[in-house]
Structure 1
Amino acid sequence: MNLDSFPDLILENEAVLLRPLLESDFDNLLDFSINEPDTWYYSLVRANGKENLEKYIQIALAAKERKAEFPFIVFDKKSGKYAGSTRFYDINFAHKTLQLGYTWYGEAFRGTGLNKHCKLLLLQFAFETLEVERVEFRADNDNKRSIAAMKSIGCKEEGVLRNHMPTYNSDVRRDTIILSILRAEWFENVKQRLVDSIKELN
């Protein structure tokens, strides 16, 4: 099983729809890029400003063409608006692993439960359709909001790669925290906890 079998993959439930990112989605994301540039403060690949957004989408689509990544655009059904983007990346089907990240949402969509809906769909697809054994998450160790969001969906912290890589356009290097969910954990308790937490939002 691999993503070649799902070129037009759409994941959705009553709250959110995730579909493949397209070049034309530039128009759907431009407002965030211009008006909410701090969204990418901790990101290594930024989409703040028109030129950076164009590059962001081009890089994502090129990685999809190489079969290294699968980027999505996120549509919030409640508001009827596009909310942000996320993707599978570092996909290794031989090892049955992938990473889930490059996730960002506009300010109005943070803290609404949208992220949990997205993660439920993405993790369910990864573990139950693609049958991977491990989904990994990474973040700048200073990005406390992102780390808290990952832990809230059931990710376990594995450790920190110290002085791991340079930050965006800077000589300062960042520490990178690594978290993960394993296949057994998903079926044992993570999925049900995530489903229950979503129910509590309604």
Structure 2
Amino acid sequence: MAPSGSSPARAAYAPDPSKLRYAESYFTNARGKRMFHCAVFPASPEAVPLVFMGISFGTLVGLHTVLSGEHAFSAVVLARDAAFLEDYMTDPLNVTDNLTVRMGEQSSAAMEALAQDRRVEQPGSTFCALPLLIVQGSADKVTSVPLARKFFERIANRDKQFKEFAGLFHCIFNEPEKQDVLDHISQWLCEHMGGGGLEAVQSPSQLQRAKL
């Protein structure tokens, strides 16, 4: 997952839509340097697929990154604990203030652009050629579960799965049941990337330790 919050630029601000795809350089970097690869794929560190996994706002950014067609992705994964909440709110890299007006406008524009993008409905598009997994908590109070399912039904990907985890809130990777979420994603990746090195992963928990 691409890092966020460490940029020296103004927080919660995007001057134009292209800046919402700031993570693209990270994908190129990660692949070029083979970050985490040798640890997670010891059998074949050279043959590593590029998979996008995002959560919350990162999912919106990631979908536009995939639709840009600038990177050869292999798959897409569309990503109430008191201790986590305390850690989240005290993280110095976390932005807890309101978004700037420009950031709010650009975020809304990005959502509208995705809603109007017909490539997600075209079976022959680069986007629809990718296997896609959407995971969401049934008690998500930030992202609408019905709207997420509506998007899932709209996309024309032949290989797609919507996995809803009962009772989980928005930040599913930080819920008490997060290991169930990570195990499901790990298993899905192993099933879809068997020829790209993921068969070398000895246990789903390795993905968590590598922070992928």
TM-score by length of 2: 0.31
TM-score by length of 1: 0.32
Larger radius of gyration: 2
Higher relative contact order (CA 8 A, sep 6+): 2
Name the structure where strand makes up a greater proportion of residues. Answer: 1
